[in-house]
Amino acid sequence: MGLSRVSAAVHIRESALEQDLTTHVESSWWHETIRLYCAQTDATTILSACLTKAPFSVEALTIALECLQEARNVQAKIRQQLDTMIEQGIEDKSLERRRVITEMLLSQRIHQMHPLNERISIDTSLVTCAEYQLFLDEKRVQGEYYQPDHWKKFSFPQGTGRTPVCGVRQTDASKFCSWLTSHSCQDLWLYVTVNKLVKLM
């Protein structure tokens, strides 16, 4: 954690420059400073700025979720607004709106890792149908099909977006991990299935 980012966050709070931060919620360069600021104070204004961006922004929603987890205080109505936006977004009729919400959820996985040793970490949360759908949609354009056999359509059954995806074949799960590595990690992480993880250990 750079001292300059900490100092910037303190300066912004002490100088009442919060409105300046709201203009940078879509800039990943500012995200660490924004998180540090929210950890010191009420994050309601920052989150409100994130949630009112139009069109939907992966970057803005990502920092909103991270600040919600770290903030000293947030008004209950803003917490509810973000949760409702996620719930409705992953089932939205607009494929673009659904994609943005799901990309935001996927981006959080890299921050949920629990280290097992110096080389290996594990994500204890289960992959949702909505997250797996991103993989399916991209691969289907390429003529590849990996949806679970019990799905009657190319997309997850209505109302199941946030439920864990089930019925995925081992080979398809491996394909998903390879896709997630290239999609999310910029070569910083290598996602593998539990079966392969056991072999690595």
- pLDDT tens digits for range 52-72: 887 778 888 888 888 888 888
With beta carbons less than 8 A apart as the criterion, state whether 41 and 12 touch.
no
With beta carbons less than 8 A apart as the criterion, state whether 80 and 86 touch.
no
Query: How many domains, in total, are found in the chain?
Result: 2
Are both 140 and 196 inside the same structural domain? Answer: yes
Tell whether the model's pLDDT for residue 97 goes beyond 70.
yes
State the chain's mean pLDDT as an integer: 85
166: CB partners within 8 A, 6+ apart: 148
Are both 48 and 122 inside the same structural domain? Answer: no
Q: Which domain holds residue 128?
A: 115-200
Residue 51 placed within a domain: yes
Rounded to an integer, what distance in angstroms lies between the CA atom of residue 187 and that of residue 66?
22
Are both 150 and 82 inside the same structural domain? Answer: no
Reported pTM: 0.76
Residue 184 placed within a domain: yes
Residue 119 placed within a domain: yes
| pLDDT digits 0-9 by tens, 164-188 | 999 999 999 999 999 988 887 656 7
Looking at 89, 104, 135, which one is the last position of a domain?
89
